[in-house]
Amino acid sequence: MAKITVIGAGAFGLALANTCVDAGHSVTVWSAFAPELEELRTKHESSKLPGVKISEQITLTDDLHCLDDTDVAIIGIPSSFVRSVAKQISPYLNKKTVLVDTSKGIEAGTFKRMSEVVEEECPNNPVVALTGPSHAEELSLGIPTTVAVACKDVQYAEYIQDIFTTSTFRLYVNTDVIGCELGGAMKNIIALACGVSDGLGYGDNTKAALMTRGIHEITKLGLAMGAEVDTFGGLTGIGDLIVTCTSVHSRNRRAGMLIGQGVSPEEAVRQVGTVEGYFCCQVAAALSRKLGVSMPITEELNHILYEQGDVRESLHKLMGRPNRHECERYTTLEELNRLHTAPGDHY
Ligand SMILES: NC(=O)c1ccc[n+]([C@@H]2O[C@H](COP(=O)([O-])OP(=O)(O)OC[C@H]3O[C@@H](n4cnc5c(N)ncnc54)[C@H](O)[C@@H]3O)[C@@H](O)[C@H]2O)c1
């Protein structure tokens, strides 16, 4: 039995907390917010995960000394707050604790992935990224779910795989941390775009187009960052893209639908709550320009979200781009560069 602490009492942290109880571990959930803890203590439910019973075996606390002798600390915090929370927990960690980051995003300004942010703030602890198609609403109900656990040092990913596995939760080890984290962060952008398309009343054809051209541009960015091409065809690439672009549970897709129906982006985010694709889109658009990787869907969505772009015009702009071949036969960054002579000229 391992001692596991979940940092954050949100939907995914609680879903993993329940899963870890099922796997036979001793679980503590830490939250900085008294009302969250109070709701869990009195009702064993959370408004962030309606209809799910949160195990009574879980210890609830607002005291970071709970980390004193923990084996694993799961970070279940939205990406915008990961750095500040990682900084806050760092002095309480002991060296044996393996950190599991579940946040999906890229940090504004630094372009760092979330595991890099955690590593910077908690330099004495190994960090494993857990990502893949895993809606909290389904994982917490014991619906079969698969994810990847990625770490440069494979022994830590294998450790998390061993201790988190249950009959309904299956974990695959992957050493391509860049690819795994990038897929998890970027699919939120494409899900927002799919939501916009749904909100406009467009159909499955359009959504399929956005998803497949979406994974294409995510893969190109990934290669430019040093990821491996195969990762984008796996759980954290196409797998997470499918679940987020098609599901009723996806907050990114829901926000996109509102925008497609005429609600302003700011208001849509306010209504839906955590919409990580909204923030990630601006960061990804800047990163793609910096790396000279053309990402037309991301660019158009960024125009809609931050430059008052018209949704219909943007979709038609995507349709009206110059004719081209579907596949670029690259498998490495060198091949990608060979195919494209000038930055921005390669889509
Ligand atoms: N919800 C899902 O199905 C799901 C699935 C996989 C991964 N994730 C990822 O997990 C992360 C968390 O998502 P979520 O859905 O659980 O979010 P959430 O909005 O449900 O909850 C996040 C929790 O983080 C804590 N928190 C927020 N801001 C904080 C701050 N400033 N200081 C301290 N604690 C703070 C709070 O306890 C809050 O309940 C995200 O990065 C998301 O991409 C979510």
171 with 289, same domain? no
Ligand 1 lined by 184 (C-beta under 6 Å): no
154 with 209, same domain? no
Confidence at residue 327, expressed as pLDDT on a 0 to 100 scale: 76
Average pLDDT of the chain is 93
Confidence at residue 249, expressed as pLDDT on a 0 to 100 scale: 85
Reference 248, options 287, 290, 194; nearest CA is 194
Q: If you take atom 24 of ligand 1, which residue's CA is the nearest one?
A: 77
Asked whether the predicted pLDDT for residue 155 surpasses 60, the reply is yes
186 with 331, same domain? yes
105 with 205, same domain? no
118 with 28, same domain? yes
Boundary residue ending a domain (134, 160, 175): 175
In a domain, 92, yes or no: yes
Counting ligand 1 atoms within 8 A of each CB, the residue from 5, 7, 12, 276 with the most, and so the one to mutate, is 12
Confidence at residue 345, expressed as pLDDT on a 0 to 100 scale: 39
Ligand 1 lined by 10 (C-beta under 6 Å): yes
pTM, two decimal places: 0.92
DSSP codes of every residue in 87-129: HHHGGG--TTPEEEE----B-TTT--BHHHHHHHHSTTS-EEE
Query: What distance in Å separates the CA atoms of residue 70 and residue 261, rounded to the nearest whole number?
Result: 47
CATH of the domain at 44: 3.40.50.720
In a domain, 346, yes or no: no
171 with 189, same domain? no
pLDDT digits (tens, 9 = 90+) for 210-245: 999 999 999 999 999 999 999 999 999 999 999 999
Tokens at residue 77, please? Answer: 């915090």
88 with 185, same domain? no
Distance 315 CA to ligand 1 centre (A): 31
In a domain, 344, yes or no: no
Averaged over 146-159, what is the pLDDT? 97
Verify whether residue 3 is a known catalytic residue: no
CATH of the domain at 268: 1.10.1040.10
Boundary residue ending a domain (147, 175, 203): 175
Ligand 1 lined by 169 (C-beta under 6 Å): no
97 with 242, same domain? no
Boundary residue ending a domain (128, 159, 175): 175
For residue 269, the enclosing domain spans: 180-339
Confidence at residue 199, expressed as pLDDT on a 0 to 100 scale: 96
70 with 12, same domain? yes
Ligand 1 lined by 31 (C-beta under 6 Å): yes
Say how many domains are in the chain: 2
Q: If you take atom 6 of ligand 1, which residue's CA is the nearest one?
A: 134
- Annotated catalytic residue within 48, 104, 112, 187: 187
Reference 250, options 235, 272, 228, 283; nearest CA is 272
pLDDT digits (tens, 9 = 90+) for 190-217: 999 999 999 999 999 999 999 999 999 9
In a domain, 35, yes or no: yes
Which one is predicted more confidently, 265 or 337?
A: 265
Q: How confident is the model at residue 9 (pLDDT cuts 50, 70, 90)?
A: very high
In a domain, 217, yes or no: yes
19 with 74, same domain? yes
87 with 232, same domain? no
